[in-house]
Amino acid sequence: MKISKIAVLFAMVAIAAIACFVDFGAAMSIAWAPVAYERNMFKAVKDWAAKQGINVTPEPSFLRIEKTLVNGQGTYDFNLKVESGMIATERKLDRNDVFCATHLGVYLAKQNTTEIGKEVLQTYPNSQVFTSASAYDLTDLQAIYNGYMWIKTEQTVNAEAIPMLKFLHIPETQKSAAGNYSQFKTEEHAFYMGNVLFFKGWSSIEIKIQFPTWSGITLQTGESGYSTKLVLVPYGYLLKSAIKSA
């Protein structure tokens, strides 16, 4: 059977149209992936709560726990629960609540001790913030990202060794002056775990970050009135007063 040039042309156009549609569909899937992830995590939290007999609607939330870096110290324990001595920027877990963590962020911060709250969280050892004039050695701060995070809830080790490199994000646009900040997007620097960690305020929770150290390692600023912090921020959903509902 003889095929005309017009038929061949129509066939080529149809193939091109299908290819474009497939590419567009793939692009849509990629673009909507974070939305689908959040929807699935919300459903997972809601289903888990129902199985526990908890009649509480999950609400988007976060926690924030800060640890002061100490020269020569490479192990830091993070207490997620409400305690005395908390500072204004911290947000911790009440003993009656459950926090359902879907992803984690770990940041560096140089905090003004008399103006707490104006510091900018850093996803890398920013040389415009952690300057040599403040007695830092930026290569020392890099040691943090060669360590790991360990998580245990009750009697279960949920994460044996999450690599700290997961939390190192050096943006394309970086801070170059006092009023010119680094590019910052939560979805780019947070570590999506693929599951949900349930932190119960009435049960044991252990989170530890550990990294290599050596004699003379400099992690703390020598600048008067400032403190260098390692900041853990779990993102996810809060089940308020869950212990009373269960």
Element (H, E) at 99: strand 98-112
pLDDT per residue of the chain (246 residues) written in tens, 0 to 9:
555 655 545 555 454 443 443 333 333 333 335 667 778 889 999 999 999 999 999 999 999 999 999 999 999 999 999 999 999 999 999 999 999 999 899 999 999 999 999 998 999 898 888 876 666 777 899 999 999 999 999 999 999 999 999 999 886 655 555 566 555 566 667 788 778 999 999 999 999 999 999 999 999 988 889 999 999 999 999 999 998 776
Residue 17 neighbours by CB under 8 Å, 6+ apart: none
- CA within 13 Å, CB half, 8: 4
DSSP-H helix ranges across the chain: 5-51, 138-141, 186-189, 242-245
The answer to whether residues 68 and 228 touch, using CB atoms and an 8 Å cutoff, is yes
- In 3-state terms the chain splits into helix, strand, coil percentages (rounded to 5) of 30, 30, 40
Please state, in angstroms and rounded to a whole number, the distance separating the CA atoms of residues 188 and 10.
Answer: 43
pLDDT of 54: 93
Phi, psi of 100 (to 5 degrees): -105, 100
- pTM > 0.95: no
The answer to whether residues 104 and 191 touch, using CB atoms and an 8 Å cutoff, is yes
pLDDT of 136: 72
pLDDT of 81: 97
pLDDT of 38: 77
